[in-house]
């Protein structure tokens, strides 16, 4: 598998893990509501949350150190780990070429960061042109990811489905469970079959449009054809239910996994900890904002909170404009190419990396025809 594809695939597993946990939680809650009574109805779901933590702890014992961090401390160990990850001998051209690219970038960064302090890194993240763009995108992409309204739909889905006419508690929880399955299946399909064929930028563009249209339909339905208490949903109500499922599915093709992949693959190794910390802080800050604001929005923005859907739908359309003008395509590029990409005056212009030809010239090689894909080099 190509290195650049593997990176996107593995990073996408983060989002897949999140939606897997959400889906399991939805169905555990549904099962407990049907078959368990008393205090155990909430004690069991809460206690089961410890299981993923135990699995994570055991898994981390056997995990390798981050390759670029290891390369800064011990290049020999990093070379051995890279050889193991690629399942190729250490002297293979593919491994040597990739390791040389990593070390060259680290050497450039060391020269720039000599005698630098934590404040220097923070200042650099906002003053150097390409680094400033990385910081800006890491923060804003995570912000937009939450402002799609996906967490509002996830946290308050039973109430949302109740507003469609699914008034019984068990029916609302069942619809929520289906919502989780839709997210899980969609995320799985995207990560394994779509992620690198569509690219990062294109995925953000088309999914923002579809999510906005879905939410606007739900808003118009709640405003002009609201369900009648005690009666089953109308045909328009079932379409609104499908629209929410489409919204959930499409999110897994763009502003869910793509955002995590994008933010993880653009920062330089020296600023990776800082900028990914900024991205994660932005993610949880706006997660909190959405979680706290949504109940008030449902209570105050019209009958059954129809205005809430218009607000989140408008955010979705705003995200499309943002991605069109400010988000360059990174699909197929290595981490070592990002500084050159974001240093361009026009980050949407066609980009051809120059790092690999430079490395080849320094090594006296005119061409390395068999190092583009790990699968290819195994067949040599």
3-state secondary structure 269-319: HHHHHHHHHHHHHHHHHHHHHHHHHHHHHHHHCCHHHHHHHHHHHHHHHHH
Ramachandran class of 190: left when φ > 0, alpha when ψ lies in -120 to 50, beta otherwise? alpha
Residue 162 has pLDDT above 80, yes or no: no
pLDDT over 70 percentage in the chain? 84
| Helix, strand, coil percentages in the chain from 3-state DSSP, rounded to 5 | 75, 0, 25
Give pLDDT tens digits for 64-115.
787 878 888 888 888 888 888 888 888 888 888 888 888 887 877 777 666 6
- Over range 284-300, report the average pLDDT: 92
pLDDT at 167: 64
Topology of domain 3-63+124-342 in CATH is Growth Hormone; Chain: A; (1.20.1250)
Give pLDDT tens digits for 209-254.
999 999 999 999 988 887 776 677 778 888 988 999 899 899 988 8
Dihedral in degrees, nearest 10, Cα atoms 65, 67, 73, 78: 100
Residue 287 has pLDDT above 70, yes or no: yes
What whole-number distance in Å separates Cα of residue 170 and Cα of residue 164? Answer: 14
Burial of 260 (0-12, 13-18, 19+ CB in 10 A): buried
Best CA proximity match to 168, nearest among 226, 222, 229, 224: 229
Structure tokens at 71: 């390369």
What whole-number distance in Å separates Cα of residue 266 and Cα of residue 204? Answer: 16
Q: Could you tell me the residue ranges of all domains in the chain?
A: 3-63+124-342, 73-108+351-380
CB 225 within 8 A of CB 53: no
Ramachandran class of 149: left when φ > 0, alpha when ψ lies in -120 to 50, beta otherwise? left
CB 312 within 8 A of CB 293: no
Enclosing H/E stretch for 39:
none
Provide the whole-model pTM: 0.73
- Looking at every residue in the chain, the average pLDDT score rounds to 80
DSSP readout, 155-195? HTHHHHHHHTT--SHHHHHHHHHHHHHHHHHHHHHIIIIIH
pLDDT at 115: 65
CB 217 within 8 A of CB 284: no
CB atoms near residue 24 (< 10 Å)? 17
Per-residue confidence at 373, pLDDT binned at 50, 70, 90? Answer: very low
Enclosing H/E stretch for 242:
helix 235-251
């Amino acid at each position: 598998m190509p290195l650049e594809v593997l990176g996107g695939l593995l990073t996408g597993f983060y989002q897949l893990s999140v939606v897997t946990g959400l889906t399991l939680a939805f169905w555990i809650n549904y099962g407990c509501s049907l078959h368990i009574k008393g205090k155990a109805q909430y004690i069991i779901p809460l206690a089961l949350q410890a299981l993923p933590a135990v699995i994570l702890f055991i898994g981390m014992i056997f995990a390798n150190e981050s390759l670029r961090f290891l390369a800064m401390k011990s290049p020999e160990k990093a070379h051995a780990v890279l050889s193991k990850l690629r399942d190729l001998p250490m002297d293979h051209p593919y491994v040597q070429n990739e390791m040389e690219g990593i070390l060259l970038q680290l050497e450039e960064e060391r020269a720039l960061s000599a005698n630098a302090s934590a404040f220097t890194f923070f200042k650099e993240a906002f003053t150097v042109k390409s680094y400033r763009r990385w910081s800006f995108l890491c923060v804003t992409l995570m912000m937009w990811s939450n402002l799609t309204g996906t967490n509002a739909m996830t946290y308050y889905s039973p109430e949302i489905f109740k507003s469609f006419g699914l008034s019984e508690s068990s029916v609302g929880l069942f619809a929520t469970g289906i919502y989780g399955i839709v997210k899980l299946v969609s995320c799985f399909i995207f990560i394994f079959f779509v992620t690198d064929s569509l690219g990062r930028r294109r995925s953000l563009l088309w999914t923002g449009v579809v999510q906005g249209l879905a939410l606007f339909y739900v808003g118009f339905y709640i405003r002009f054809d609201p369900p009648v208490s005690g009666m089953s949903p109308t045909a328009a109500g079932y379409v609104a239910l499908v629209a929410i499922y489409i919204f959930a599915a499409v999110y897994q093709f763009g502003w869910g996994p793509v955002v995590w992949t994008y933010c993880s693959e653009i920062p330089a190794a020296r600023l990776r900890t800082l900028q990914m910390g900024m991205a994660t802080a932005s993610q949880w800050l706006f997660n909190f904002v959405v979680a706290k604001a949504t109940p008030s929005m449902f209570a105050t923005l019209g009958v059954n909170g129809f205005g809430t859907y218009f607000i989140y739908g408008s955010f979705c359309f705003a995200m499309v404009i943002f991605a069109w003008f400010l988000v360059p395509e990174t699909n197929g590029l290595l981490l070592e190419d990002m500084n050159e990409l974001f240093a361009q005056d026009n980050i949407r212009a066609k980009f051809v990396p120059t790092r690999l030809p430079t490395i080849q010239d320094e090594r006296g090689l005119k061409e390395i025809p068999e190092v583009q894909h790990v699968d290819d080099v195994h067949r040599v």
